[in-house]
Amino acid sequence: MCASPGENAPVRLSRRESEVAGLVAQGLTNREIATRLFLSERTVDGHLEHVREKLGVNTRAQIAAWVVRQDVKGIAAASVEPISRPTPRGRLVAHPRLWVATALVLALLAAGVGLLRLTAPPGPMIRTIAGISSANSYPGGDYKGDHDYAINAALSWPSDVAVGPDGEVYIADFGNSVVRKIGTDGIITTVAGGGSDPPVDRAIATEVSIGFASNIAVDSSRDLYLLTDLAGDLEVWMVAPDSFMSFVVSLGHSSNRYMQANWNTPVGGLAVTSDRTLFIADRAENRVWKLGFGAKTPTLYAGTGEAGALGDLGPATSAQLDWPTGLALGQNGDLFIADTQNDRIRRVDGLRGTITTFARGANLLIPFGLAFRSDGALFIADTGHNQVLEILPSGGIMTVAGTGSDGLSGDGGRANDAELSGPEGVVFDGKGKLLVADGGNHRVRQVTGLP
């Protein structure tokens, strides 16, 4: 028998969390709580997740037990008691001057709050730039909206984003097995996938099936590269601006095939340099490969193939990785790897080939995507925490988007107050705006005003 979690530690729940906990204790389902409190079910999920975290519990029963232990009857009762409870007579006959004074105080308070809002720095803001589905539309959005504004299009589990030299945005619409492009006029089209035959050289990209294509990159010549699992083989294909496809490389049979059709799990990662060298992460085989422009055979760049975290300070090819996914190239040619199952970001020295851990810790949980801003700051899609983080020059980690709770909210407001749902790919456009493939929300979000 063990002591119930959170029994001794003081716990502070927000008012809303307390309300939700109280209603859980009454046996209401999330749906019923959502109805009662005029919230979305996802928001209730989010509050419950916070409650669980704060209390250190996992079940509704434990939350209920906690509520009873805390004697928070008032909390629960607050939301169930009749709204039209009779008001004590004494209050109704208060002196008129008291009402005037109260109104004056309230007006002053309201003015103060308004002033504070006006003078507070706005911070990064967030909005949706593509996708109409909500996280509640599981198992995914559907596939529609081409030739219309991207904001009206349906995406399904977007897993990666890339930006072309002219500012056009490419989206790995993973759940729909297509790649979409948002032109500079805001119109979305499909540029790869949608057919049924496997790709071959010189095929038109929109007339073939591109399989499980979760990662994309665009080079300076507007060539689009896509990393895909095609019938168990991990392959890279290129789509030229004229829409013709070319085979680039196969990494052979991949264990990705063990895990097909999981739209919230990318098959690896992809990055391309200015001289069109490709770096390819094979998530399931725990390796990262390098392919020079025009080369036929890739060379091992990092990872022994064995899952693990060993090997820091030694050659990257002798080090262990555990589900390498997102890749990003630093200004000095170092390669950064989202070492997903190790909850780390690894760095491979571009000159010496040695590997180190660049970031790790409790702030990181299953990171999938990486992106560098032009000033060299690294941004991380911290997928497991539903947030986007920035690594500060001091080495510290700052949250730039996402409350941590899994959900869909916050468009038009501060990015830190918005909810994301399993964000994966991240990239910067040429204007310093951060684009986020918000997979579970079936949207691409844009964060602006980053410091």
Q: Which amino acid is at 275?
A: D
- Which helix (H) or strand (E) segment holds residue 447: the answer is strand 443-448
Q: Is 137 exposed, middle or buried (0-12, 13-18, 19+ CB in 10 A)?
A: middle
Strand partners, 408: none
What is the C-alpha separation between 409 and 413, in angstroms, rounded? Answer: 9
Judged by CB under 8 A, does residue 26 bind another protein? yes
Q: Which amino acid is at 174?
A: F
Identify the DSSP state of 203. Answer: -
Judged by CB under 8 A, does residue 2 bind another protein? yes
Residues 149-188 that bind another protein (CB under 8 A): 157
Residues 332-361 that bind another protein (CB under 8 A): 340-341
State how beta strands 169-173 and 178-182 pair. antiparallel
Q: Is 38 exposed, middle or buried (0-12, 13-18, 19+ CB in 10 A)?
A: exposed
Contact 239, 227 (CB under 8 A): no
Structure tokens at 75: 């909390």
Which of 37, 65, 187, 377: binder of another protein (CB under 8 A)?
A: 65
What x/- string results for residues 358 through 377 when contact with another protein is judged by CB under 8 A? -------xx-x---------
Strand partners, 189: 181
3-class DSSP state of 22: helix
Which CB atom, from 206 or from 342, has the smaller least distance to another protein? 342
Degrees (nearest 5) of the Cα angle 314, 266, 286?
A: 25
What is the C-alpha separation between 221 and 70, in angstroms, rounded? Answer: 64
Judged by CB under 8 A, does residue 49 bind another protein? yes
For 273, other C-beta atoms within 10 Å of its C-beta total 18
What is the C-alpha separation between 63 and 46, in angstroms, rounded? Answer: 14
Judged by CB under 8 A, does residue 11 bind another protein? no
Judged by CB under 8 A, does residue 47 bind another protein? no
What is the C-alpha separation between 13 and 428, in angstroms, rounded? Answer: 36
Which of 292, 384, 413, 449: binder of another protein (CB under 8 A)?
A: 384
Judged by CB under 8 A, does residue 50 bind another protein? no
Judged by CB under 8 A, does residue 436 bind another protein? no
3-class DSSP state of 385: helix
Which CB atom, from 187 or from 259, has the smaller least distance to another protein? 259
Which CB atom, from 75 or from 226, has the smaller least distance to another protein? 75
Residues 74-103 that bind another protein (CB under 8 A): 76-77, 80
Judged by CB under 8 A, does residue 323 bind another protein? yes
Which of 102, 136, 299, 374: binder of another protein (CB under 8 A)?
A: 136
Judged by CB under 8 A, does residue 310 bind another protein? no
Which CB atom, from 219 or from 438, has the smaller least distance to another protein? 438
Which CB atom, from 61 or from 104, has the smaller least distance to another protein? 61
Which of 21, 64, 150, 335: binder of another protein (CB under 8 A)?
A: 64
Contact residues for another protein, defined by CB under 8 A: 1-5, 25-30, 41-42, 45, 48-49, 56-62, 64-65, 67-69, 73, 76-77, 80, 135-136, 138-139, 157, 232, 255, 257-265, 307, 323, 340-341, 365-366, 368, 383-384, 386, 406, 421-424, 439-441
